[in-house]
């Protein structure tokens, strides 16, 4: 057995033992396994066509290609910043100093990354029932989609490393290549929009038809990978073989590019590994980790507003303004993109668009700036009452939440053709759920503080969301069933219930900052 093979098997064994010997991890894994078994069993049930019939299976293939394209672009762009690390600091200290062939070390890192990619994409498997009832395919289709997802992430990591190796030594090269990539992606987006624009509008049927074109199949990685997944679902060996040959060719091209660039791979990967290691350590120690760019244009410096605890809210305004892209934050752009996507997927069911937005909001609120503020010691040193400081800490989340909710549902009004009342109801509902999720996060901070048991906190987060969202959802469903002609009013009544629950939770957690964790 080679040294790298031995190291890989030992790491796998130690990870399994770590799960078995850590109660929080074991509980988390058991819950995930239970959900997975339930999903697999229900997903393998006989497919029975519903009364509305199944949607076009090509729509599923288009969604898969869109998912792969977004993942590939988002990961590949890391190459313009810190590359894409496939190693831990332990690997750097142990392997980089050993007399091993760099190509084998590179293969070791990429193989590790493929395993992580498959773990990250496990959420895909939980869509089995939805995919089965909507498109008439079984659980095996989700397995193929997950494998394609892992391969896409794997190849995107390689692309990011090539980009980093090409541009790390020159800001001019970085800027030039970034513009080339933006124009390249923009051309594919424009082609898709023009191809789908027929009969005076863009419909889901036109977008699906446009996704079948050979031009979009030439989009790096995602086009052919999605085609291979399609072949696996349909049982077409030729498409599978073509996808496998493409991935192998991409790997060989990557190896050739690394060789031609003639850069020291160890030097290229070291900085990105250190950045990843620092972020992991910060999370373990309960500290806030910011992804700051290398060069920051400060413009106007200083806060110059606020007094006492209100300075915290003013500070958050400035930080939010500096982190925006095209006047919006990255998270807001993602939310709006999913809202537009929901308009096409649930074109005949606006409530589905609302549910998708609320689902995405669970992750957006958790990534808010106010949570990071509580990890710093400075807020605890301000000579103000705890509930006053807490109020100004979360105050900065309100206006972005309202603005983001409005921007998410403006496309719904024009694309899904909802009326004004329904659109306003969905906006109010999303805002109320945002406030409720903020209160749930406050409760978690009150109960767990800076605990390092992240698995248990994650489980508690989703359980609390289900628990405290239940009154509003139950009220809305009851009104919709008993009084179907007043279903729009259900949005506003649900919003009122959510706000009351959020206010009660926030009041109960008002002394969070006075508790030493």
Domain boundary among 238, 267, 284: 284
Look at the pTM and tell me if it is higher than 0.95: no
Same structural domain, 329 and 279? no
Residues of the chain with pLDDT under 70: 1, 24, 39-40, 42-53, 81-86, 102-103, 106-107, 110, 113-120, 126, 199-201, 262-302, 322-328, 347, 366-368, 449-455, 515-517
3-class DSSP string for 147-173: HHHHHHHHHHHHHHHHHHHHHCCCHHH
Is residue 253 assigned to a domain? Answer: yes
How far apart are alpha carbons 425 and 354 in whole angstroms? 10
Is residue 11 assigned to a domain? Answer: no
Is residue 393 assigned to a domain? Answer: yes
Secondary-structure breakdown of the chain: helix, strand, coil percentages, each rounded to the nearest 5: 75, 0, 20
Is residue 200 assigned to a domain? Answer: yes
Domain boundary among 220, 250, 284: 284
Is residue 289 assigned to a domain? Answer: no
Same structural domain, 272 and 377? no
Counting every residue written for the chain, the total comes to: 517
Q: Given this model, what pLDDT does residue 114 score?
A: 67
Same structural domain, 361 and 489? yes
CA angle, residues 97, 102, 106, in degrees to nearest 5: 105
pLDDT in tens, 228-272: 999 998 888 999 999 889 988 988 888 788 777 765 556 656 666
Q: What is the DSSP string of 99-165?
A: S--HHHHHHHHHHHHHHHHHHHGGGGGGGHHHHHHHH---HHHHHHHHHHHHHHHHHHHHHHHHHHH
Q: Given this model, what pLDDT does residue 257 score?
A: 81
pLDDT in tens, 201-228: 677 778 888 888 888 888 988 889 999 9
Q: In sequence order, what are the beta bridge partners of 328?
A: 325
Is residue 2 assigned to a domain? Answer: no
Residue 268's Cβ-count burial label (10 Å; 0-12, 13-18, 19+) is buried
The total number of structural domains in the chain stands at: 2
- Segment holding 82, helix H or strand E: none
Same structural domain, 111 and 192? yes
pLDDT in tens, 42-56: 655 555 555 456 778
Domain that holds residue 444: 310-514
Same structural domain, 246 and 153? yes
Same structural domain, 317 and 276? no
């Amino acid at each position: 057995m080679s040294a790298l093979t031995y190291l890989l098997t030992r790491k796998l064994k130690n990870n399994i033992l770590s799960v078995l010997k850590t109660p929080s991890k074991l509980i988390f894994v058991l819950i995930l396994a239970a959900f997975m078994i339930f999903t697999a069993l229900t997903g393998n049930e006989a497919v029975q066509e519903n009364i509305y019939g199944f949607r076009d299976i090509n729509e599923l293939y288009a969604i898969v290609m869109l998912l792969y394209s977004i993942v590939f672009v988002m990961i590949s762009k890391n190459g313009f910043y810190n590359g894409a690390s496939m190693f831990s600091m332990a690997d750097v200290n142990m392997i980089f100093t050993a007399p091993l062939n760099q190509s084998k070390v590179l293969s070791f890192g990429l193989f590790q990354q493929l395993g992580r990619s498959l773990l990250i994409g496990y959420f895909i498997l939980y869509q089995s029932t939805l995919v089965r009832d909507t498109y008439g395919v079984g659980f095996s289709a989700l397995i193929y989609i997950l494998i394609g997802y892992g391969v896409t992430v794997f190849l995107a990591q390689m692309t990011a490393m090539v980009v980093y190796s090409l541009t790390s030594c020159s800001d001019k090269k970085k800027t030039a290549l970034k513009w080339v990539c933006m124009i390249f992606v923009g051309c594919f987006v424009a082609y898709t929009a023009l191809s789908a624009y027929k009969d005076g509008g863009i419909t889901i049927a036109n977008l699906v038809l446009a996704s079948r074109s050979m031009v979009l199949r030439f989009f790096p990685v995602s086009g052919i990978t999605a085609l291979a997944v399609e072949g696996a679902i349909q049982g077409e060996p030729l498409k599978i073989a073509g996808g496998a040959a493409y991935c192998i060719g991409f790997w060989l091209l990557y190896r050739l590019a690394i060789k031609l660039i003639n850069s020291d791979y160890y030097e290229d990967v070291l900085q990105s590994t250190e950045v990843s290691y620092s972020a992991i350590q910060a999370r373990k120690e309960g500290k806030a980790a910011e992804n700051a760019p290398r060069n920051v244009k400060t413009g106007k410096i200083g806060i110059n507003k606020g007094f006492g605890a209100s300075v915290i809210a003013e500070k958050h305004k400035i930080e939010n303004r500096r982190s925006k892209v095209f006047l919006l934050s990255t998270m807001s752009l993602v939310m709006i993109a999913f809202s537009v996507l929901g308009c096409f997927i649930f074109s005949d069911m606006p409530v589905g668009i609302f549910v998708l937005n609320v689902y995405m909001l669970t992750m957006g609120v958790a990534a808010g700036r106010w949570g990071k503020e509580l990890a710093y010691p400075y807020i605890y040193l301000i000579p103000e009452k705890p509930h006053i400081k807490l109020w100004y800490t979360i105050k900065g989340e309100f206006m972005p939440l309202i603005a983001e909710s409005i921007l998410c549902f403006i496309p719904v009004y024009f694309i899904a053709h909802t009326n004004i009342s329904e659109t306003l109801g969905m906006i109010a509902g999303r805002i109320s759920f945002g406030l409720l999720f903020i209160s749930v996060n406050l409760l978690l901070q009150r109960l767990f503080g800076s605990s390092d048991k992240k698995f248990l906190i994650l489980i508690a987060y989703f359980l609390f969301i289900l628990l405290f969202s239940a009154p509003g959802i139950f009220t809305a469903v009851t009104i919709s069933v008993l009084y179907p002609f007043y279903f729009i009013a259900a949005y506003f009544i649900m919003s009122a219930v959510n706000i009351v629950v959020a206010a009660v939770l926030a009041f109960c957690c008002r002394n969070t900052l006075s508790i030493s964790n």
